Structure 1
Amino acid sequence: MLEKLWYLAVSAVIRNREGKVLLLKRSPDDEINPGKWDLPGGKPDPGETFDRALRREVYEETGMHVVLTEVAGAGELDLPDKRIAYLILACDVDTEEVRLSPEHDEYAWLAHGEIRDLDLAEQFVGLFAAFR
């Protein structure tokens, strides 16, 4: 049996001034987690640091510039063909203007208690379980 390859990914818990968190809903035809709510993020490019990768991914997916504040969590996702290790970083922004990429078709700024009602991507269920 072949061993699955591991990949690294970064995701952002973006908070606005009121402490609400930005969640993005994946497009229904997206390859990964179609129609699920998730956090902005993705894989670092070769030689790219985690912080630079996260800033780039957040900008590509939302048009926002973020300030990284702390590590919010980590996790892993076991897919049929690969495994992904996630580093989740908390970020602050000074705007709520979001420009969505084609990967997502909806966004919401939500209080922690509102997140429990969403159909979350599997890798983020544990992160938000404490808010249920």
Structure 2
Amino acid sequence: MSDPIHIVSVIIILKCRGCYLLVQRSKNDSIFPGKWQNLGGKVEVGERVEEAIIREVYEESGIKLEKRGKPIFVQSYSWVKDEKSTRRLGLIFMIKLKYKPKRITLSKELENFGWFTYEEAKKLDTIGQKSETGTVGQLRLA
């Protein structure tokens, strides 16, 4: 049996004046089509977590985080993806922005974005809607 594969992901909650930035996946996406989520993605081999946060936020939204505030660690969670023993570790961070960015440029796998209060986010079709580690559960922790 081969060694398990370990994948580390970061989830970034951007908060500004009581609202959270959520993005909507493309309706043509093979995973969670049309669902709303926080920004995030995988930590690449050789990359520090802080670097992955900056890169993922920029790739998915066009927002440059370098001078906007430091990420605050919120929580971690883990799960085994499949019978091949792919182990995943998710690290959730929050960044408080002083003001909303003037421009957001979405990546091709995303089709919409919005700034939502927690109550508004609960009404959206989000990933893991009833899960503690789903999109809305993540916001509740922040």
TM-score range (shorter-chain normalised) is 0.7 to 0.9
CA displacement 1:1-54 (0-9 Å, x = unmatched): 8886331100110012x1210000101122332211111111111110001101
Q: 4+ residue stretches of structure 1 with deviation over 6 A? A: none
Q: Aligned pair 1:26/2:25, yes or no?
A: yes
TM-score normalized by structure 1? Answer: 0.83
Structure 1 Cα separation of the partners of residues 57 and 35 of structure 2: 17
**Structure 1 match to 2:88:** 84
SS in 2 for 1:68: coil
The answer for unaligned runs of 5 or more in structure 1 is: none
Q: Which residue of 1 aligns with 2:107?
A: 101
Flag the 1:4–1:32 CA change in 2: closer, same or farther, 3 A.
Answer: farther
* AA at the equivalent of 1:63: G
Letter in 1 for 2:138: L
**For residues 141 and 100 of structure 2, what CA distance do their matches in structure 1 show?**
26
For structure 2, the residue ranges without an aligned partner over 5 or more in a row are: none
Would you say how many aligned residue pairs link Structure 1 and Structure 2? Answer: 130
- Report percent identity of matched pairs: 28
Whether 1:65 and 2:70 are equivalent positions in the alignment is no
3-state SS in 2 of match to 1:91: strand
CA contact (8 A) 1:74 1:86 kept: yes
The letter for the 1-side match of 2:33 is P
Structure number with larger C-alpha Rg: 2
Give deviations 1:52-103, integer Å, cap 9, x for gaps: 1011010010000222331122223554464421101111333332111111
Q: Which residue of structure 1 lines up, in the alignment, with residue 76 of structure 2?
A: 74
Q: Give the AA of the match of 1:95.
A: K
Q: Which of 110, 119, 123 is residue 116 of structure 2 equivalent to?
A: 110
Code of the residue aligned with 1:84 in structure 2: it is R
